[in-house]
């Protein structure tokens, strides 16, 4: 068969027909169609990209393994936090308790103070209920008072951030200052408005 005639047939459809003319004719019809050379719709590209993303990403960063030493350090840190929390709760539970009540100025206020002796003084935690936040220009002050009428401040606070548990401190022995008062003070001034009172009697020094 003349190859030039075959080439003419492939190019124009006339001339000597090759042996695989059936498949070649089908290919010619597809390639001669304008649809084969048109721009595909956007949905085709979206579907192809979705299929690619569904496969394993060869550029994905491998998951880093945490070393046993880091796991051990994290476990020790968590254990230390739990230990401090348990010890703190135990201290509040086992400390000396003083019930506080509102005076005629705030009769609905109440609270509980927990006193714990330490090497540096008395640690005092107070849970309050019904004591409103101090207005701007005012604050609350905690006191321990002796039966002789001497008072020692144990700290100040205002409760404007919603805190209801206070951590206060006494540098004097509460055995000699068994009364706990909370007063409302004006900034830059003096006030004798006692809003809460409580008394520790007798004092339990056992802790």
The 10s digit of each residue's pLDDT in 1-30 is 566 666 666 566 666 665 555 555 666 665
Note whether 191 and 101 are same-domain residues.
yes
Does residue 207 fall inside a structural domain?
A: no
Question: Binning pLDDT at 50, 70 and 90, where does residue 184 land?
Answer: very high
146 in Cβ contact with 135 (< 8 Å): no
Does residue 60 fall inside a structural domain?
A: no
Residue-level pLDDT at 60? 53
Does residue 115 fall inside a structural domain?
A: yes
Tokens representing 185 are 């003070």
Note whether 84 and 136 are same-domain residues.
no
Residue-level pLDDT at 17? 62
Does residue 27 fall inside a structural domain?
A: yes
Structural domains counted in the chain:
3
Note whether 100 and 194 are same-domain residues.
yes
Note whether 37 and 69 are same-domain residues.
no
Q: Read off the pTM.
A: 0.52
DSSP secondary structure, 98-158, as one string: EEEEE-TTSTT-EEEEEEEEETTEEEEEEEEES-PPPPTTEEEEEEEE-TTS-EEEEEEE-
CA distance 110 to 99: 8
Does residue 205 fall inside a structural domain?
A: no
Residue-level pLDDT at 91? 41
Q: Which domain holds residue 33?
A: 3-54
Residue-level pLDDT at 20? 54
Is pLDDT of 172 > 90? yes
Query: The CATH number of the domain where 127 resides is what?
Result: 2.60.40
Note whether 126 and 184 are same-domain residues.
yes
Tens of pLDDT, residue by residue over 37-55, are 555 666 656 665 666 666 6
CA distance 117 to 121: 6
Q: Which residue has the tokens 């005076």?
A: 103
Is pLDDT of 121 > 70? yes
197 in Cβ contact with 179 (< 8 Å): yes
């Amino acid at each position: 068969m003349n190859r030039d005639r075959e080439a003419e047939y492939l190019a124009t459809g006339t001339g000597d027909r090759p042996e695989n003319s059936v498949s070649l004719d089908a290919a010619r019809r597809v390639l001669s169609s304008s649809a084969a050379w048109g721009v595909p719709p956007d949905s085709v590209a979206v579907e192809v990209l979705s299929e690619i993303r569904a496969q394993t990403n060869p550029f994905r960063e491998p998951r880093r393994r945490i070393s046993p030493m880091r796991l051990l350090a994290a476990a020790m840190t968590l254990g230390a936090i739990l230990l401090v929390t348990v010890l703190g709760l135990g201290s509040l539970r086992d400390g000396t308790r003083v019930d506080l009540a509102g005076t005629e100025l705030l009769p609905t206020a109440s609270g509980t103070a927990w006193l714990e002796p330490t090497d540096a003084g008395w640690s005092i935690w107070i849970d309050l209920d019904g004591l409103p936040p101090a207005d701007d220009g005012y604050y609350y002050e905690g006191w321990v008072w002796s039966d002789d009428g001497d008072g020692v401040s144990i700290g100040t606070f205002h409760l404007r951030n919603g805190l209801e548990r206070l951590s206060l401190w006494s540098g004097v022995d509460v055995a000699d200052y068994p009364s706990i008062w909370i007063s409302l003070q004006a900034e830059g001034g003096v006030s004798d408005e006692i809003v809460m009172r409580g008394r520790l009697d007798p004092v339990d020094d056992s802790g």
